[in-house]
Amino acid sequence: MSLVGINYRRGGNSPENGLDCSGFVRYVFREAQGKELPRTSAEISKLGESVDKQDLQPGDLVFFNTLRRAFSHVGIYLGDNKFIHSPSTGGAVRIESMDLSYWKARFNGARRIETSENAPANR
């Protein structure tokens, strides 16, 4: 949440220089979990396990088709049908509702990346 307001920057991967959508997700996972994720949203979409929309939990990754190709945008689900993301040029990291028609029409799926919080206890 401390990244809300950080400017979007294509290819950006640090709050100091700006963040694009995958840079934002990568930064959060690296800082919070010490987990390195791939660079693009399409690559990130291949990780973890698929999650049905009705089973989303905070921390799950949500993917959207915003550039006429699958998994071209990614954000982090917060609960209550809201997600946080770095949207596009001229924008900044913000929280939005997945109920907005724009996001509803472009939803591609969700993935759960195993973290220390959701890992099975006997691994």
Mean pLDDT confidence for 4-25: 96
Does the pLDDT of residue 17 top 90, yes or no? yes
In CATH, what number is assigned to the domain containing residue 32? Answer: 3.90.1720.10
Which tens digits make up the pLDDT trace of 19-57?
A: 999 999 999 999 999 999 999 999 999 999 999 999 999
> Residue 61: inside a domain, yes or no?
yes
User: Would you call 93 exposed, middle or buried from its count of C-beta atoms within 10 A (0-12, 13-18, 19+)?
Assistant: buried
Task: State whether residue 42 is helix, strand or coil.
Answer: helix
> Residue 106: inside a domain, yes or no?
yes
The tally of domains found in the chain comes to 1
Its domain, for residue 46, covers 13-112
> Residue 67: inside a domain, yes or no?
yes
Phi, psi of 29 (to 5 degrees): -65, -40
Residues catalogued as catalytic? 21, 73, 85
Ranges assigned E (strand) in the chain: 13-14, 18-19, 49-51, 61-64, 73-79, 82-85, 94-97, 107-112
The pTM score is: 0.92
